[in-house]
Chains A and B, each alone.
Chain A
Amino acid sequence: MTVLELRSVSKVYGRGAAEVQALRDVSLTVKAREMVAVMGPSGSGKSSLLTIAGTLEEPTSGAVLVNGEDTLRMSGGGKSRLRRRAIGYVFQDFNLLPGLTAAENVSLPLELDGTSMRKAHLAALEALDGLGLGDRAGHFPDQMSGGERQRVAIARAVVGERSLLLADEPSGALDSANGEAVMRLIHTYCKRGVAAVVVTHDAQLASWADRVVFLRDGRLVDQTVLPAGPETLLGQPS
């Protein structure tokens, strides 16, 4: 099932001499259970692609469909609802609310969407438990390590059965072991049914994705094609 579809999306910022074409005719389809990494040099349009996919910004032309719904035809309220229910965001700097505990950070989007506080809290505890952070539920962000904070942020992004996870350099602030743990986690959620788009400039992290697409000057210029199985690497004569 297709979760995200960008159809010929272009984005222009500014006008006249200050005009910047951030995205040019980008088409991208991401299915449930699929993890797509977006790679490209800085200024290639990676972050614009992510904010437009997440309906935080509108494209100058083209269409953005989430779960088959054309987001450009939605009202402001409809879009907010879609963002609360279907889309989760993960940022490089975690973006946890410092005055809330790990469990409160995770349950917040559910409560904002009308779930009762008790139900939201239980869902948050379950999500944190699943990440091995059950004993951190009552901790505030500044009492946790960077890796733990990012895992809480991922729990917040996927809680409530959201179908689309968008991550912008999710392990940019972490060491390699924690970075790998974060990518492994996103990959695990994808296997359970989530569709994910992860922007990164790090090839090792991108290699967790099922498909890597390459952006250059706002255009999608290439993508990887994985062979059916991993057997090609092993069993080669030494």
Chain B
Amino acid sequence: MSVRHALLALLSEGPKYGLQLREEFEANTGQVWPLNVGQVYTTLQRLERDGLVTALADTEELEPGPQKAYRITEAGAGELAHWLRVPPDLSTPPRDDLVMKVLIAVRVPGTDMSEVIQAHRRYLIQLMQEWTRLKDDDNGNDVAFALVVDSELFRLDSVVRWLDAAEARLRRAIADGWNPGLPPAIRPASNGLPTRHPMGIRR
């Protein structure tokens, strides 16, 4: 998560003090990402070094206080606008522990795959129940919080759906006599040459 850009976004509304930035950051992320004030000031110093924010002189529009106040620069506004529109890198599949566990479980003789998958499914749904409880308690009043909870629920839901699909696929494959101990068969194409994997992945 980019604290840097979140601070730029808050400063795009007008000059603010460090402590104020921290409070607003937490409120805007549904209180789910706590941030300590040290992190705020370190980030502000880096932003200042990079010319994206400037510290306000005491004579400027905010009341002078014990803390430093900052304002976003033109370069900072440009950087923020650019960042908002650049999709995060989702192109490389993450090395997922759960996927690894399922792939490894398949190779362990005598493993009941449905039981292994169910253990993970139960855990995920329990987590989803906890998030849903939080959403229910809040009753949709805190929009930022609801957005964060929805994002978690959709993420966990996609994992549950993958487990459902994996279980169905394994059941079908096992019913068809698939043996995980054997290397995947290379199907000859009509021209007699082995087919290439559609994603170009070497098997």
Q: Is there an interface contact between B35 and A221, defined as CB atoms closer than 8 Å?
A: no
Q: How far is the CA of A234 from the CA of B122 in the complex (A)?
A: 20
B22 within 8 A of A: no
Q: Is there an interface contact between A221 and B118, defined as CB atoms closer than 8 Å?
A: yes
B32, B128, B154, most chain A CB atoms within 10 A: B128
How distant is B171 from chain A, measured CB to nearest CB, in Å? 9
Q: Which residue of A lies closest to B131 (CB)?
A: A233
Residues of A within 8 A of B164 (CB): 41
By the criterion of a CB under 8 Å from any partner CB, how many residues of chain A are at the interface? Answer: 28
Q: Is there an interface contact between A214 and B118, defined as CB atoms closer than 8 Å?
A: yes
Q: Is there an interface contact between A238 and B129, defined as CB atoms closer than 8 Å?
A: no
Q: Is there an interface contact between A41 and B168, defined as CB atoms closer than 8 Å?
A: yes
How distant is B136 from chain A, measured CB to nearest CB, in Å? 7
With A41-B164, A204-B153, A238-B34 known to touch, is A187 a contact of B126 (CB < 8 Å)?
A: no
Residues of B within 8 A of A232 (CB): 130
**Cβ-neighbour of A203 out of B34, B161, B167 (below 8 A):** B161
Q: How far is the CA of A87 from the CA of B103 in the complex (A)?
A: 45
Q: How far is the CA of A235 from the CA of B54 in the complex (A)?
A: 32
B137 within 8 A of A: yes
A91 within 8 A of B: no
With A214-B118, A221-B118 known to touch, is A203 a contact of B130 (CB < 8 Å)?
A: no
Residues of B within 8 A of A223 (CB): 122
Q: How far is the CA of A162 from the CA of B156 in the complex (A)?
A: 34
How distant is B161 from chain A, measured CB to nearest CB, in Å? 7
Q: How far is the CA of A184 from the CA of B124 in the complex (A)?
A: 20
A207 within 8 A of B: yes
Q: Is there an interface contact between A230 and B133, defined as CB atoms closer than 8 Å?
A: yes
Q: List 5 tightest A-B contacts by C-beta distance, closest first.
A: A207-B128, A207-B132, A203-B160, A230-B133, A207-B129
How distant is B115 from chain A, measured CB to nearest CB, in Å? 8
Q: Per-residue 0/1 for B25-69: is the Cβ within 8 Å of any A Cβ (1 yes, 0 no)?
A: 000000111110000000000000000000000000000000000
* Interface residues, chain B, with chain A CB atoms under 8 Å away: 1, 31-35, 114, 118, 121-122, 124-134, 136-137, 153-154, 156-157, 160-161, 164, 167-168
* Interface residues, chain A, with chain B CB atoms under 8 Å away: 39, 41, 184, 187, 202-204, 206-209, 212, 214, 216, 221-227, 230, 232-235, 237-238
Residues of B within 8 A of A212 (CB): 125, 129
Q: Which residue of A lies closest to B137 (CB)?
A: A230
Q: How far is the CA of A208 from the CA of B137 in the complex (A)?
A: 12
Residues of A within 8 A of B168 (CB): 41
Q: Which residue of A lies closest to B132 (CB)?
A: A207
Q: Which residue of A lies closest to B3 (CB)?
A: A238
Q: Which residue of B lies closest to A216 (CB)?
A: B114
How distant is B22 from chain A, measured CB to nearest CB, in Å? 13
Residues of B within 8 A of A41 (CB): 164, 167-168
**Cβ-neighbour of B129 out of A209, A216, A221 (below 8 A):** A209
Q: Is there an interface contact between A230 and B125, defined as CB atoms closer than 8 Å?
A: no
Q: Which residue of B lies closest to A224 (CB)?
A: B126
Q: How far is the CA of A209 from the CA of B128 in the complex (A)?
A: 10
Residues of B within 8 A of A235 (CB): 34
Q: Is there an interface contact between A222 and B122, defined as CB atoms closer than 8 Å?
A: yes
